[in-house]
Amino acid sequence: MTRCISPWSRGLTILLLSLICGVPPACAMNGGLRLGGVYGLTELKDENGWGLSAFLRAALNPRWQAEFNTGYSRLNGSDYATDLISSEARLLYSTRAGGAWSAHIYTGMGIARFDLITSPPVATIGADATGWSTLLPIGIGLSHPLGRQTTV
């Protein structure tokens, strides 16, 4: 019997092995906290929410980094509120190694546990108030060193 491994499974396996097996001494492992705004994209009237997450990053080389994060977010709207607990694995590419400002792009995969706290008056029939969903994070970011060990 031949078993085929999907590209996503293969990529996640390589990413996790990179984190578990370590990286060369010249490449660092770091972590931190992120706090920021989140905004839902629904058919309802959406409002600003917030999110907090903790992350660990391993440098694969000066430009590539692997990241694992987990966090909590609250999505808000005029007629709803939803709590999200999520975990993601990401691969980041920095456009510049070092310097005053560094931009990066990232993509990854993850899972989220959602819990609808306040339901809209006209809810989708058969929609679960709690459950699990997959995530496909894609984005850009900026960082600026404030010192030897602190970056914003």
pLDDT in tens, 67-117: 999 999 998 888 888 899 999 999 999 886 566 788 889 999 999 999 988
* Interatomic CA distance for residues 39 and 47, integer angstroms: 7
> Token pair of 89, please?
């694995």
- Residue 56 pLDDT more than 70? yes
* Interatomic CA distance for residues 50 and 63, integer angstroms: 29
Residue 82 CA neighbour count, 13 Å, CB half: 27
* Interatomic CA distance for residues 121 and 143, integer angstroms: 41
* Interatomic CA distance for residues 74 and 115, integer angstroms: 10
pTM comes to 0.69
Query: Tell me, what's the pLDDT at 1?
Result: 41
Check: CB of residue 72 under 8 Å from CB of residue 52: yes
Please report where in the chains the tokens 């706290």 appear, as a residue: 117
Report pLDDT digits (tens) over 119-143: 777 777 777 889 999 999 999 888 7
* Interatomic CA distance for residues 71 and 7, integer angstroms: 26
